[in-house]
Amino acid sequence: MPKTLATFQNVTKTYKQGAVDVHALRGLDLEIHAGELTALVGPSGSGKTTALNMLGALDVPTTGRVTLEGTDLSTLSRKQLSALRRDRIGFVFQAYNLIPVLTAYENAESVLALQGVAPAERRQRVYALLEEMGLKGMEDRRPDQLSGGQQQRVAIARAIAANPAVVLADEPTANVDSETAEMLLDIMQRLNRERGVTFVFSTHDPRVVAHAQRVVRLVDGKVQSDERK
Amino acid sequence: MTGPNLVRLAWRNLWRNTRRTLLTLVAISFGLLMAVLFTALQDRSFSDMIDLAARLHGGHVVVQHPEYLDSPTLDRSVQDAPAKLAAIRALPGVQAAVPRITGNVMVASARGSYGALFIAYDPALESPTTLSFLEGVQGDMLDSADGDGVVLGTRLAKNLGVGIGDKVVYTATDSTGEIVSGLARLRATVGTGAPSLDGALVLLPIESVRRVLGYTPGEVTRIAVFIDDSRNSPRVRDAVNATLTDGAVALTWDEVQPELNGFIAMKVGGARFMELVILILVSASIFNTLFVSVMERTREFGIMLAIGWTPRQVSGLIVLESVWLAISGIVLGAALTTPLYLYLKSHPIDVSAQFAADGAPMEIAGVGIAPVLQVGIFPESVVVIVCAIVLATLLSGLYPAWRAGRTVPVESIRLV
Ligand SMILES: Nc1ncnc2c1ncn2[C@@H]1O[C@H](COP(=O)(O)OP(=O)(O)OP(=O)(O)O)[C@@H](O)[C@H]1O
Ligand SMILES: [Mg+2]
């Protein structure tokens, strides 16, 4: 029996767009299991980003509940949510994840720095991590001196450096070529296998989907299918 | 250090848009330059004017009869000057204190007679410090042995048609209302820079005037107190007042000459207004820079907030950026201003050509103004200007900082 990490319980999200209500989620029920690599797929507008934002404590449901590690996120204050994101969640966005004026190393260590981890320990952990990501020798480069794929690897390093409970990645490969996408997926798969990092990512890319253990298909803000390999 | 290095990050952020930052720095430093030079001209001309006025009219602090100001007649005198002088000279900050008798006289020569203002002083006590308003001395100033000498303003001597060595008669009303007169020989003519004064200035030795007026040996109309810095006048006045017991009060130069003070207040008001305008321009430029740069970085702030930065840290970052902007602006401004200031200090700008048009030098309340622009800033003024710029920078950064901290990650990140 896999350990439950997060749950969506009958979650709805309605955006008001002028007079029109846009229903981004219409009763989403989903359980995320620790240690899994889950892909959220579905047509554009099906609610993938909305779901990830809620799991990442960046957005709140209109109705229903989202829990992470047993905590109902709606019970937490802004401050607690901020600390939760820092300590328990890793984020990888589609593109331009990094702070342009910080080097690859500084970007990768930034969550650890926010946590107040001592510089010596940061150094040791982040250098090892960047090496593992195939970024040895690029530690002092600024994001604009890195390729899109390298930038995403730095973002992944930043996301996992503090050992979060889950890494959320919204279309992490949308802005890179397919070869780079393969490589990023390989890395995530390896981190998942070797370090037990839990990943939830959204994607349109069928090749990316192939790397996932579990594929959840959303349509119209609801789960249409949920397959495990 | 633990936690993100906000200071370093802020510094780097400042240089993301080099051109914009440089333009802002130029604005700040130019503002500083303007404010400093403007204030330096003011500070200097005010201290010069106050000084001149004080020397001419009897010191930065004046001790006189309580009713002398209402009506300056010779019966309103101060007694026991030597004892009072000794007490005043012992006070801190007092450069010199001298007895004087001043009043109105008629001066007559063979050619005619003119109303004038006389200042009777003790040649043994008065030094170039206390008489430094005099310029262009022709002849020899009075000396202590000189019982019947007189010094006249250049114009007055010309009007009277007298030269060095010639005799003049002066007539005054003494303390009892009697008309009294004395005879004196012209020893020197002097200028003051103020044409009206040059036409009406009579300097006499105090002993002969006492004799003529029937004053007692310790009797004077005023004691003139000179101090190092005219801005300390009120403090010294209070100290002097504390030494006085009867029939005499101490007043500051501006209490004695309200019209000059009014003029200075007006000019200071003008300076403050100019400084305010400069400050607003500087603030606007800083605000623009920070605000635009914050608006361009919403996605970045969204990501920072998403990964665990607190709104306070994000806002703090922008505040630090404004601090860096202020520091850099002031350093650049100082680098620009200092050499120019020092140059102007050693090379005053002669603007007499501009004044030559109407023929006469400027004078305000009987005080001549040298037609030369000289700088000399009070240290406090520098502190005030620098603080104002730092404060303006910080205030201009507050709103952008607040906006940055309030970035909503979901919204800003969606906008790739
Ligand atoms: N802030 C918002 N205001 C209004 N409507 C919104 C907002 N955010 C999302 N929506 C709408 O909610 C629906 C779900 O959006 P969401 O971004 O979750 O879809 P998605 O599955 O991520 O799509 P895509 O594959 O294109 O990224 C869409 O119809 C979208 O237009
Ligand atoms: Mg999406």
- Measured CA distances, A20 to A23, A24, B247 (Å): 10, 12, 90
What pLDDT does B53 receive? 66
Same domain, B32 and B85: no
- Lining ligand 1 with CB less than 6 A are A 15, 17, 22, 24, 42, 44-50
- Nearest CA, atom 31, ligand 1: A45
How many CA atoms lie within 13 Å of B229's alpha carbon, on the beta-carbon side? 9
Radius of gyration in angstroms for the set of CA atoms belonging to chain B, rounded to a whole number: 30
- Is residue B377 within 8 Å of residue B403, measured between CB atoms? no
Same domain, B291 and B246: no
Nearest CA-CA distance, residue B288 and chain A, Å = 21
Helix (H, G, I), strand (E, B) or coil at B259: helix
Query: Which CATH number goes with the domain that contains A218?
Result: 3.40.50.300
E strand or H helix that includes residue B197: helix B195-198
Same domain, B125 and B273: no
| Interface check A100 vs B, CB under 8 A | yes
- Nearest CA, atom 2, ligand 1: A15
**What is the share, in percent, of chain A residues with pLDDT greater than 90?**
75
What pLDDT does B389 receive? 85
How far does the centroid of ligand 2 lie from the alpha carbon of residue B252, in Å? Answer: 77
Rounded CA-CA distance B337/B34 in Å is: 9
What ligand 1 atom has the least distance to the C-alpha of A43? 25
Rounded CA-CA distance B101/A85 in Å is: 85
Residues lining ligand 2 (ion), CB within 5 A? A 49
Report the 10 Å Cβ neighbour count for B273: 10
Out of B224, B252, B280, a domain closes at B252
pLDDT tier at B361 (50, 70, 90 boundaries)?
A: low
Which residues numbered 177-206 in A keep a CB inside 8 Å of some CB on B? none
- Find which of B6-15, B37-46, B204-213, B387-396 is predicted with most confidence, using mean pLDDT: B6-15
Mutate to test the interface with B, among A86, A92, A101 (most CBs of B within 10 A): A101
Region of A181 on the Ramachandran plot (φ > 0 left; ψ -120 to 50 alpha; else beta): alpha
Same domain, B40 and B118: no
How far does the centroid of ligand 1 lie from the alpha carbon of residue A24, in Å? Answer: 6
What ligand 1 atom has the least distance to the C-alpha of A52? 18
User: Closest-CA residue in chain A for B312?
Assistant: A79
A201: which strand partners?
A39, A169
Query: Per-residue pLDDT tens for B49-106?
Result: 666 666 666 678 888 888 887 777 888 888 888 888 888 888 888 888 889 888 888 8
- Nearest CA, atom 27, ligand 1: A44
Same domain, B179 and B328: no
- DSSP code at position B137: E
Mutate to test the interface with B, among A44, A78, A82 (most CBs of B within 10 A): A82
Which segments of B55-164 are extended strands (E)? 61-64, 94-108, 113-121, 135-139, 149-153
Rounded CA-CA distance B159/B114 in Å is: 8
What angle, 0 to 180 degrees and rounded to 10, lies between the N-to-C axes of helices A78-88 and A104-115? 130
Q: What is the number of structural domains in chain A? A: 1
A166: which strand partners?
A89
Same domain, B240 and B164: yes
Mark the ranges of chain A whose per-residue pLDDT is less than 70. Answer: 1
How far does the centroid of ligand 2 lie from the alpha carbon of residue B187, in Å? Answer: 101
Rounded CA-CA distance A139/A122 in Å is: 13
Same domain, B304 and B182: no
Mean pLDDT of B114-122: 87
pLDDT surpassing 50 at residue B359? no
- Nearest CA, atom 26, ligand 1: A44
Mean pLDDT of B176-185: 86
pLDDT surpassing 80 at residue B415? no
Residue of A16, A41, A46, A53 with the most ligand 1 atoms within 8 Å of its CB, for mutation: A46
pLDDT tier at B1 (50, 70, 90 boundaries)?
A: very low
Interface pTM, i.e. ipTM? 0.94
- Is residue B264 within 8 Å of residue B233, measured between CB atoms? no
pLDDT surpassing 60 at residue B108? yes
Nearest CA-CA distance, residue A229 and chain B, Å = 31
- Structural domain that includes position B326: 3-52+261-413
pLDDT surpassing 90 at residue B331? yes
pLDDT tier at B174 (50, 70, 90 boundaries)?
A: confident
What pLDDT does A100 receive? 94
Same domain, B124 and B145: yes
Contacts of A113 in chain B (CB under 8 A): 2-5
Same domain, B78 and B216: yes
Query: Per-residue pLDDT tens for B214-256?
Result: 888 888 888 888 887 777 888 888 888 888 877 788 888 778 7
Q: Between these two residues, B133 and A45, which has the higher pLDDT value? A: A45
pLDDT surpassing 70 at residue B307? yes
Same domain, B325 and B389: yes
- Structural domain that includes position A83: 4-228
What pLDDT does B260 receive? 66
- Nearest CA, atom 11, ligand 1: A24
Average pLDDT, chain B: 82
What pLDDT does A79 receive? 93
Same domain, B284 and B299: yes
Report yes or no on whether pTM surpasses 0.90: no
Q: What is the number of structural domains in chain B? A: 2
- Is residue A220 within 8 Å of residue A209, measured between CB atoms? no
Rounded CA-CA distance B273/B133 in Å is: 31
